[in-house]
Homo-oligomer: A and B are copies of this chain.
Amino acid sequence: MTDQLSRVFAALADPTRRDMVARLTEGDHTVNDLAAPYDVSLQAVSKHLKVLEDAGLVTRTREAQRRPVHLEAEVFDLMTKWIERYRRQAEERFTRLDAVLARMQDADDPSSTRPQEGTAS
């Protein structure tokens, strides 16, 4: 699971991490700040942040003794591109299938007026 796309999907497969990302859209947060709503140790949150960081979804800088976490929203595009590509492809196929079904029904239907000949050669 070395490629980034896999890491991004894996990172967002966890509800806690998704919630963190959601909250980071409001703006940067410190680790303690992020950890507050969850009923887990600070270390667990730190681990979650490492996962998000390795996926490229987040960066951590330094500011005094605090380490503000910043969302890198561009990575979303990676996913969106993948998803949209295949969804579009699936939809196109679906449309083509509809066309095929329509033609089949046309050819099959005894009451059809059959205004055209068979498959054009």
A22 at the interface (CB under 8 A from B): yes
Residue in B6, B15, B76 whose CB lies within 8 Å of A87: B76
A108 at the interface (CB under 8 A from B): no
Q: Number of A interface residues, CB 8 Å?
A: 35
The 6 closest A-B pairs by CB, nearest first: A10-B13, A9-B13, A73-B90, A25-B89, A25-B90, A76-B87
A18 at the interface (CB under 8 A from B): yes
Query: Given the complex, which residues of B lie within 8 Å of A25, measured CB to CB?
Result: 86, 89-90, 93
Determine how close the nearest CB of chain B comes to the CB of A71; give it in whole angstroms: 6
Q: A1-B13, A6-B14 are in contact. Are A83 and B76 (CB under 8 A)?
A: yes
